[in-house]
Amino acid sequence: MTPSLPASVSSAYDAAYTASLNDPSGFWGSAAAAIHWDVPWTHVLDDREAPLYRWFAGGELNTCFNAIDRHVLNGRGEQAAVIYDSPVTNTKRTISYRQLQDEVARFAGVLRSLGVGRGDRVVIYMPMMPETLIGMYACARLGAVHSVVFGGFAPNELAVRIDDAEPKVVLTASCGIEVQRIVPYKPLLDQAITLCTHKPLYCVVLQRDVHRCELTPHRDMDWHDAMAVAEPVACVPVKATDPLYILYTSGTTGRPKGVVRDNGGHAVALHWTMQHVYGVAPGEVFWAASDFGWAVGHSYIVYAPLLAGCTTVVHEGKPVGTPDAGEFWRVIEEHKVSVLFTAPTAFRAIKREDPNGTFFTRYNTSHFRALFLAGERLDPDTYHWARALLQKPVIDHWWQTETGWPVAANCLGLTPLAIKPGSPTKSVPGYLVEILDDAGQPLPPNKEGAVVIKLPLPPGTLPTLWRDDQRYIETYLERYPGYYLTGDGGYIDEDGYLFIMGRVDDIIIVAGHNLSTGSMEQALASHPDVAECAVIGVRDPLKTQLPVGLVVLKSGVTRAVDELAKELVQLVRDQVGPVSNFRQVIVVSRLPKTRSGKVLRKTMRAIADGDAWTMPPTIDEPATLAEIESALRTLGLAPQPRSPIGE
């Protein structure tokens, strides 16, 4: 269905939405007035190379200046910019805008002394500490391009990203802390660099007291030693269309996609969302309980809150276990958080430990206004539980690493709309979301199909993939000409509310993290006893989905299955990382395939989840599915013995 624009402008949301689609240049051109430009743009929307669009072409600015220096100049110097709260090390630290400016300027000096300049890449593999944010802003200050890699990825995944981004310098820390477990990062980085073809020249290492590491001579330097002698550096204006960062996201193959974010469109769009989507004013405390390594961390821990003159919280802990299920409420009370943003899985984890919300009643959260959830579907049960507990708006909103900011949300800063549990409400101004069938025809209300966004995408969304326009076009733009393919399936109801039902490709969503089954399959296939394998995501009440591996052994292999399964689990952990949550593997005699050899993952997933499924007409050996079903049952999956519908 093509959602029609509202016939009469009846609310701030309708007005903004209509304006953003009828006159994107006018709409975003006005929003851009809130940003400081060193050189004004010549084109708000540059469509000369459509379907590759650029925003604010000809303009120049510096993102770091807009997020930090500008606020110091405008009187926010003594306001807290960053609150670091680390229950795992029992540390708290508040950094004012002025202090942050000083630290970022000096760390930019460190990078410059290592030869980093405009356009050079810096890979960042660090824990939830303010230094990570300082490293990111130091890159932005110099016009260098950062690429942050989540700490839960293994050396192999880090190596793939280093080889693609080709950084001059890598920033790391001696360790991360996962509740009680120390994760030494430096050996992981060393291993990654050994695996890489591209060798970074330098590594700057933040030594932590809980665990120090050896530095590699001539390559590594101590963060604090380098800072002690660094000269501060001023902001370097860059083109609006220059890349600010690359953030790798899972592809359907094992090779991650380097999502590029520009400087100009990003600053304009993120600044706009703070007021209009999240309803937050300058000076307020905004907390995104995520990780720097994810898009949520980039947009809503690092950039948006500071672009808007808010205070951001850097939390090194978990919703449960650091030390208990009251941790979120403690942080909200102590730091006067107005708005919290996290993934539904965090709330499911809290609900599991504290179903009656006893911890919540121990804290004063009266100044807390709203909870925003994203990263995975917000199931109605979790929505109702959170709503009843908080007695404040609980807003489901939908977006992707690629878009960098919400595509669909209930815009609290425009006109809050009625909530329909299970729906992230409606398109945010700037996005026209449609539902198409296989032939590219718009579907009527309530009919499920491919969720697509009409081009051009608004500012701040990905202009392309790092050094790979072709892959960008093939992955996102070719399937339905004129549209961006989200990879999600869903529908729009008769009131225009969007429902996202899940990925239609081989990407799975685990605890709010988007992971590729392809990279897990690559790891399994590297085992000498494995002939073939497939990884599917099966439903999980806490983490939405969990991966399950199905492997076929090479003929003649007669090993004990338990022992082999342990090796395979370890292999995925070593090659992809603990973030994969890969713990279940079964051995089968064959994989179900079509006659052309395509593995029937979707059918296996339906069987595992106990959903109705249809015997694919093109299957080569129907009996394989019965074997898969009984093997899945040994893991407690495939709950109901359902017969296939039809043949």
| Dihedral (CA of 312, 298, 486, 13) sign | positive
76 touching ligand AMP, by CB under 6 A: no
Q: Residue 487 binds which entry of ligand AMP, ligand COA, none, with Cβ cut-offs from 5 to 8 Å by kind?
A: ligand AMP
483 touching ligand AMP, by CB under 6 A: no
545 touching ligand AMP, by CB under 6 A: no
Q: Specify the residue, 65 or 328, whose C-beta has the smaller distance to ligand COA.
A: 328
In order, the DSSP letters of 581-618 are ---EEEE-S---BBTT--B-HHHHHHHHHT---B--TT
522 touching ligand AMP, by CB under 6 A: no
Residue nearest to ligand AMP (CB): 514
CA 144 vs CA 197, 236, 267, 386: distances in Å: 21, 10, 16, 41
Q: Specify the residue, 515 or 631, whose C-beta has the smaller distance to ligand COA.
A: 515
Q: What does the block give as tokens for 132?
A: 């990570």
454 touching ligand AMP, by CB under 6 A: no
- Taking CB under 6 A as the binding criterion, the range among 143-151, 313-321, 387-395, 484-492 that sits at the site for ligand AMP is 484-492
Instruction: For residue 464, give the nearest of 21, 150, 35, 55 by alpha carbon.
Output: 55
| Least distance (Å) between residue 378 CB and ligand AMP | 6
Separation of alpha carbons 325 and 120, rounded Å: 42
In order, the DSSP letters of 545-585 are EEEEEEEEEPTT----HHHHHHHHHHHHHHHT-GGG---EE
Instruction: For residue 314, give the nearest of 174, 72, 135 by alpha carbon.
Output: 135
Cα-Cα end-to-end distance for the chain: 31
| Least distance (Å) between residue 513 CB and ligand COA | 6
Q: What does the block give as tokens for 200?
A: 């970074």
Q: What does the block give as tokens for 300?
A: 């809503």
Total binding residues toward ligand AMP, as defined by CB under 6 A? 21
| Least distance (Å) between residue 346 CB and ligand COA | 4
Separation of alpha carbons 369 and 22, rounded Å: 32
Specify the residue for token string 């370890």. 570
DSSP state of 362: G
- Taking CB under 6 A as the binding criterion, the range among 10-18, 22-30, 376-384, 561-569 that sits at the site for ligand AMP is 376-384
Q: Which of 424, 429, 537, 616 binds ligand AMP (CB under 6 A)?
A: 424
Size of the chain in residues: 647
Q: Specify the residue, 32 or 386, whose C-beta has the smaller distance to ligand AMP.
A: 386
| Least distance (Å) between residue 549 CB and ligand COA | 15
Q: Specify the residue, 276 or 397, whose C-beta has the smaller distance to ligand AMP.
A: 397
Q: Specify the residue, 56 or 248, whose C-beta has the smaller distance to ligand AMP.
A: 248
Q: Specify the residue, 128 or 395, whose C-beta has the smaller distance to ligand AMP.
A: 395
DSSP β-ladder status, 243-249 and 43-49: unpaired
488 touching ligand AMP, by CB under 6 A: yes
235 touching ligand AMP, by CB under 6 A: no
Q: Which helix (H) or strand (E) holds 268?
A: helix 264-276
396 touching ligand AMP, by CB under 6 A: yes
| Least distance (Å) between residue 86 CB and ligand COA | 13
Q: Which helix (H) or strand (E) holds 384?
A: helix 380-390
374 touching ligand AMP, by CB under 6 A: yes
Scanning residues 286 to 325, which ones bind ligand AMP (CB under 6 A)? 295
3-state secondary structure 96-116: EHHHHHHHHHHHHHHHHHCCC
Buried b (16+ CB within 10 A) or exposed e, 208-233: beebebebeeeebbebeebbeebeeb
Instruction: Enumerate the β-bridge partners of residue 176.
Output: 183
407 touching ligand AMP, by CB under 6 A: no
Q: Residue 579 binds which entry of ligand AMP, ligand COA, none, with Cβ cut-offs from 5 to 8 Å by kind?
A: ligand COA
133 touching ligand AMP, by CB under 6 A: no
Q: Residue 500 binds which entry of ligand COA, ligand AMP, none, with Cβ cut-offs from 5 to 8 Å by kind?
A: ligand AMP
Peptide bond into 380 cis (omega under 30): no
AA identity, residue 483:
Y
| Least distance (Å) between residue 176 CB and ligand AMP | 20
Q: Which of 317, 375, 459, 460 binds ligand AMP (CB under 6 A)?
A: 375
Separation of alpha carbons 587 and 564, rounded Å: 9
Site string for ligand AMP, 556-585 (x = CB under 6 A): ------------------------------
593 touching ligand AMP, by CB under 6 A: no
| Least distance (Å) between residue 595 CB and ligand COA | 38
Q: Would you tell me which residues interact with ligand COA (CB under 6 A)?
A: 151-152, 176, 178, 183, 289-291, 294, 296, 318-320, 342-343, 345-346, 349, 375, 511-513, 578-579, 581
Residue nearest to ligand COA (CB): 151
487 touching ligand AMP, by CB under 6 A: yes
With contact defined as beta carbons under 8 Å apart, do 312 and 302 qualify? yes
Peptide bond into 323 cis (omega under 30): yes
SS3 324: coil
> CA torsion, points 616, 621, 622, 626, in degrees to nearest 10?
-130
- Taking CB under 6 A as the binding criterion, the range among 35-43, 355-363, 372-380, 639-647 that sits at the site for ligand AMP is 372-380
Using CB under 6 A as the criterion, which residues of the chain lie in contact with ligand AMP when the complex forms?
249, 295, 374-378, 396-401, 424, 486-488, 500, 503, 509, 514
